[in-house]
Structure 1
Amino acid sequence: MWAELLPIGRHPGSGGYRRYAWTGADAECRDWFREQAEARGLTYEADRNGNQWAWLGDPAAGDAVVTGSHLDSVPDGGAFDGPLGVVSSFAALDELRGRGARFTRPLAIVNFGDEEGARFGLACVGSRLTAGQLTAEQAHRLTDGDGVTLPRAMEAAGYDPEAIGPDPERLARIGAFVELHVEQGRALDLSGDQVGVASAIWPHGRWRFDFRGEANHAGTTRLADRRDPMLSYAQTVLAARREAELAGAVATFGKIAVEPNGVNAIPSLVRGWLDSRAADQETLDEVVGGVERAAREYATAHGIDLDVVRESFTPVVEFDHALRDELARILGKDTGLTVPVLGTGAGHDAGILSGSVPTAMLFVRNPTGVSHSPAEFAAEDDCVAGVRALADVLEGLACR
C-alpha cells in the first residue's frame, strides 16, 4: 500500500507532495482508497462533503468504531502526515482478520477531504462541514490562489457542491473515532517510545496582517520619503519570534503576498499570515496580542496602515478522557508499561470531531521531529508498531 501511494502527487524537483484538494493528485489518492476498500470487501461510500468511507458491518447500525485520517498534503509536504493513518487503518484491519477477530460493532475507515487546507486556506474542510463547524455558505465563498471557488473545484472533480453541509445523521452512527498519526515533534523519540496517546490539541489559529503603504520607484525614492510596508512586516516577523519565545509558545509567519511584487518597486501591500499555537488560551492570547501591538507600533512609525483579521481559530481540544484512558489501558495491558500521553500543537480531524463524538489519537515516533516537509520520516518498525497498536485498540473497542 505504501509503495502504491508514494509516487502520487510527488514533485520531481522538491521531492515533496502537492496533493491539494480536488486536483488530479487528490483524485488519484481517492481512487486508491476506493480500490483498497473494494479489495477487502468493504462497503464504500463518499458522503455529501466528499469524505470517503469504507465500512465493515452495517453503517446504519450505530455505535461504530471509526479510524482513518487524510490523504491530502501541504505544499511540498512529507509522505507520512495523513497517509500513515489511512494506510495503517487498512493494515490494522488486515491484522485483525489474520487474528480471527470477531467484530461486535461496525468498523469504518475514513479519508477526510481537504484536511490541510493547502488550496483554499482553511484546514479540515471535510470534517468541519460534517460537524457543522463550517456552513455551506462559508464553504462556497472559499477560493484558491487562482480564484477558483470550492464549488467549482468540487464540481470539476465530479462531486455535487450543492449537497455539502452538516451531517448529524452520520455523526450519530459513530461511537468512537481513533486517528493514528505520525508525531509532529520529538517527544516519543526523546522518551524512547514507539507509540503514544494524545492528551489534547493546543489552541491555535491563523491571523492575516495587511500592511498598506505606497508603491514607488526603488531607485529614485529617498529612504526618508518611503512608506514601505515591508519594513513593518519584517519587524513584525521578529516580534512574533520574540513573543513566542517569552511565552513558551510558537508563532510563525510562513506565507506572504506582496503587491506589486516587483524587484525594482517599493511594495504598496504586504500581506502576511501568522500561525500561532500555545498550550492554553491565555498564553495564545498573550502572544497574538503582543505581535499585533508590536505590528501597530511599527506601522505607525513608518506611516503604514494595518488591518489584522483572524481567519480561523480552534480552541483547545481535550480528547475524551474515558476513551483516552481506555486506549492507554489496552496498549499497556500485556506489557504492564505506561503508555506516554502527550499534547500536540497540530490540528487534526480528530480535534474537529471531538465536539460531536468521543475521539482519541495515537502517535507514531518521528525520529527527526520534522513534519510538513519532504524530510518527514518514521522508521518501518515504528510504523509496524503503530499498526499493531491500532489493531489492539480497534480489537478492544469493536470486538468486545
Structure 2
Amino acid sequence: MNNPIVIRLLSQRSSQQCKRGFRCYPIRSFTSTRTHRQIRNWESDEAALQRLKVNQGRLMDELHHTCQWGTGKPWGVAATETGMSRLALSDADKQARDWFVETTQSLGCSVQVDAMGNIFAIRPGREDGPPTCAGSHLDTQPSGGRYDGILGILAGVEMLKVLKDHNVQTAYPVGVVNWTNEEGARFPISMVSSGVWAGEIPLDRAHNLQEVGGGTATMKSELERIGFLGSLPASYKAMPLAAHFELHIEQGPILEAEKQKIGVVKGVQAYRWYTVEVTGREAHTGTTPFSSRGDAMLAAARMIALSHDSARKHSALASTGILTLTPGSVNTIPGAVRFSLDVRAPLDSTVEALEKEFKEQFAKIVSKESTGGLAVEVNWQTDSVSPAIHFHEDCITAVREAAVSVTGKEALVRDMVSGAGHDSVYASRHCPTSMIFVPSRNGISHNPEEYTNPEDCAIGAEVLLQSVLRYDRQRAFKA
C-alpha cells in the first residue's frame, strides 16, 4: 500500500509571515499514526495541497451523466445543452439519489439518511469527530439548469475521488451532504430540510407540506414512496457537522463582468416573503364607472410598482413572482387578488424598514381617496423570515486562501454577499460555514440556459477541495 499523504498543519500567523516575505519557521506535523511529530516548512505544506488536482474532464462527464435524470428543455444543439426539471422526491430525484449513495459508498463513505431524506456521505479520518462537509442539493427548479446545486454535489463527489486517488488521510472525517428540497419548487418552503436539521422548522410541518400544483402528495408520503425516509433524526444533534462548505454558481453577473474566478462568500443577505391579499368588489367592466369600482387588480398593480421603486431607493430588492386573481373573466373587474412579495437587502434593518413603509403605503393605496372609487382592503401574511447571515471567519479564511492558491492571483478573487438563500444559511446556525461562488454566464440562473464553463467549474471544485482540507488541518492544529 502506498504511504498516505498527510496534509500538514500551519498556524495562521506563520502563513501570513511567509506570504509577506518573512523567513518560514518550521511547524509541527502529525503522521498518520500520530505516534511522533515531523518538522516541515510552509512551502512543502502548500506543495502537498497543490498536488491534489481536480480532474476537470471527469467532473464534467459525471455532472452531465447525472443530468440524464430529469433532463429539461433544450437551449442548444449539443446533448448537454439542456435545462433540468428534477423536482424534489420525484422519480428522477430518486435516480439521482441512488447514484449518489452508490457512488459515495464505492469511494469509502458510510451513508446515513435522516427523516427529511438528507443524505450524509462520510469518509473516515484518522480521528473520530464530526465531519467537515461539502454540501448542496440535487433537486432543481421545474425549468432550471444543470449547475444550480448540482455542481456543488458533483464537486463534493470529485473531492472524494481526488482524496481516494492520492490516498489522502484527513485528520477528521470529511464528507458530502445532499440536502432535500432546497429549491422549494415542489414543496413550498425553500431550504426546508436543512431548516429542520437546524431546528428552525418543525419536522411535522415539513412532513405535511403538500406539493404545489394541486397534487395530494406530501413530503413524508414521497419520502416513503422513493425509499428515502431515513431513521436518523433530522437534527444537528443527531448528525453534527464540524463545518459546511458550499460551492455554487453565482446566479448573478458580477464575477463574469469583473473577469474574476472566485467569490469568497462572507454571508447571505436578509429576506422576507409575504403573501398580500387585496379584496375589492367584482363588477361588470362595461357598466361600472370608475367612481363605483372597487378594483382589486388596480390596487395590487400599484402596490407591486411601489414596492419596486421603494426597494430601489433603499438599495434593496423586491419582486412579485406569484399573482392570482378572481374571477378571471375579461369583462369582470377583479374582486380579489393575491400576490407574493419577496423583499431582500444586506441588512435586517433595511428589510424591516421596507416592511413598515410598504404597509403604510399600501394602506393609502386602498383608500377611497387613492382609488377614485370604492375603498378596497389589504391583508398581509408573513410566510418566511431569513435574517442576514454572517459566515464564520475561519471558513472564510480557508476559502480565501484556497482561492488565491488555486487561481494564483488575488485579483481573480473577490469577497461577496449572496443575494439568494442556500442550505448554508441553516448550516451556519450550528457549525462554521462559508460558500464559494463561480461565474454564471450572463448572470442567468433558474433557467435552462444557466451555464458555467468547465474551467470555472473545475477551479471552483479545486477551491472546495482545498477549503475542506485547510479547515481539517486547522482543526487538527487546534486539537
Tell me which residue corresponds to 1:342.
416
**Residues 147 and 31 (structure 1), Cα distance of their counterparts in 2 relative to 1, 3 Å cut:** same
In the alignment, structure 1 segments of 5+ residues that lack a partner are none
Is 1:394 the counterpart of 2:472? The answer is: no
Larger CA deviation: 117-126 vs 148-157? 148-157
Greater C-alpha radius of gyration: 2
Tell me which residue corresponds to 2:38.
none
Could you tell me which of 384, 407, 428 is aligned with 1:312? 384
What is the rounded CA distance, in whole Å, between the counterparts of 1:358 and 1:242 in structure 2? 37
In the TM superposition, residue 121 of structure 1 has moved relative to its aligned partner by 1.9
- Partner SS state of residue 122, structure 2: strand
Is 1:187 the counterpart of 2:261? The answer is: no
1:1-400 matches, cutoff 5 A: 1-12=62-73, 16-57=83-124, 61-145=128-212, 146=214, 148=216, 149-160=218-229, 165-171=234-240, 174-301=241-368, 302=371, 303-333=375-405, 335=408, 337=410, 339-398=413-472
What is the rounded CA distance, in whole Å, between the counterparts of 1:297 and 1:206 in structure 2? 21
In the TM superposition, residue 80 of structure 1 has moved relative to its aligned partner by 1.1
What is the rounded CA distance, in whole Å, between the counterparts of 1:270 and 1:233 in structure 2? 7
Tell me which residue corresponds to 2:19.
none
- Partner SS state of residue 239, structure 2: helix
- Partner SS state of residue 425, structure 2: helix
- Partner SS state of residue 275, structure 1: strand
**Residues 83 and 293 (structure 1), Cα distance of their counterparts in 2 relative to 1, 3 Å cut:** same
AA aligned to 2:333 is I
Larger CA deviation: 351-360 vs 327-336? 327-336
- Partner SS state of residue 4, structure 1: helix
Does structure 1 conserve the Cα–Cα contact (< 8 Å) formed by 2:276 and 2:338?
yes
Larger CA deviation: 387-396 vs 331-340? 331-340
What is the rounded CA distance, in whole Å, between the counterparts of 2:312 and 2:296 in structure 1? 25
What is the rounded CA distance, in whole Å, between the counterparts of 1:258 and 1:246 in structure 2? 29
- Partner SS state of residue 321, structure 2: strand
In the TM superposition, residue 140 of structure 1 has moved relative to its aligned partner by 4.2
In the TM superposition, residue 163 of structure 1 has moved relative to its aligned partner by 7.7
What is the rounded CA distance, in whole Å, between the counterparts of 2:472 and 2:399 in structure 1? 12
**Residues 292 and 32 (structure 1), Cα distance of their counterparts in 2 relative to 1, 3 Å cut:** farther
**Residues 210 and 91 (structure 1), Cα distance of their counterparts in 2 relative to 1, 3 Å cut:** same
AA aligned to 1:181 is H
Query: Cα deviation per residue 1:279-307 (whole Å; 9 max; x = unaligned)?
Result: 11121222233333222222223422111
What is the rounded CA distance, in whole Å, between the counterparts of 1:308 and 1:365 in structure 2? 37
Does structure 2 conserve the Cα–Cα contact (< 8 Å) formed by 1:16 and 1:75?
no
What is the rounded CA distance, in whole Å, between the counterparts of 1:32 and 1:217 in structure 2? 57
- Partner SS state of residue 384, structure 1: helix
Larger CA deviation: 31-40 vs 177-186? 31-40
**Residues 60 and 166 (structure 1), Cα distance of their counterparts in 2 relative to 1, 3 Å cut:** farther
Larger CA deviation: 32-41 vs 233-242? 32-41
Larger CA deviation: 231-240 vs 256-265? 256-265
Does structure 1 conserve the Cα–Cα contact (< 8 Å) formed by 2:72 and 2:448?
no
**Residues 184 and 55 (structure 1), Cα distance of their counterparts in 2 relative to 1, 3 Å cut:** same
In the TM superposition, residue 164 of structure 1 has moved relative to its aligned partner by 6.2
- Partner SS state of residue 136, structure 2: strand
AA aligned to 1:328 is R
AA aligned to 1:394 is V
What is the rounded CA distance, in whole Å, between the counterparts of 2:301 and 2:74 in structure 1? 29
- Partner SS state of residue 242, structure 2: strand
What is the rounded CA distance, in whole Å, between the counterparts of 1:6 and 1:264 in structure 2? 46
In the alignment, structure 2 segments of 5+ residues that lack a partner are 1-61, 76-81
AA aligned to 1:200 is G
What is the rounded CA distance, in whole Å, between the counterparts of 1:294 and 1:59 in structure 2? 60
AA aligned to 1:104 is A
Does structure 2 conserve the Cα–Cα contact (< 8 Å) formed by 1:129 and 1:164?
no
Larger CA deviation: 47-56 vs 18-27? 18-27
In the TM superposition, residue 209 of structure 1 has moved relative to its aligned partner by 0.4
In the TM superposition, residue 179 of structure 1 has moved relative to its aligned partner by 0.6
- Partner SS state of residue 241, structure 1: helix
**Residues 136 and 213 (structure 1), Cα distance of their counterparts in 2 relative to 1, 3 Å cut:** same
What is the rounded CA distance, in whole Å, between the counterparts of 2:178 and 2:311 in structure 1? 34
- Partner SS state of residue 161, structure 2: helix
What is the rounded CA distance, in whole Å, between the counterparts of 2:294 and 2:210 in structure 1? 30
In the TM superposition, residue 362 of structure 1 has moved relative to its aligned partner by 0.8
Does structure 2 conserve the Cα–Cα contact (< 8 Å) formed by 1:204 and 1:275?
yes
In the TM superposition, residue 324 of structure 1 has moved relative to its aligned partner by 0.8
Query: Cα deviation per residue 1:227-249 (whole Å; 9 max; x = unaligned)?
Result: 22111111111111101110111
Does structure 1 conserve the Cα–Cα contact (< 8 Å) formed by 2:113 and 2:230?
no
Residue correspondences, number: 398
Does structure 1 conserve the Cα–Cα contact (< 8 Å) formed by 2:113 and 2:232?
no
Query: Cα deviation per residue 1:83-137 (whole Å; 9 max; x = unaligned)?
Result: 0100111112222333442222111111100111112321111100111000123
Does structure 2 conserve the Cα–Cα contact (< 8 Å) formed by 1:299 and 1:306?
yes
**Residues 22 and 164 (structure 1), Cα distance of their counterparts in 2 relative to 1, 3 Å cut:** farther
Backbone CA RMSD of aligned residues: 2.5
TM-score, normalisation: structure 2? 0.77
Larger CA deviation: 297-306 vs 211-220? 211-220
**Residues 160 and 389 (structure 1), Cα distance of their counterparts in 2 relative to 1, 3 Å cut:** closer
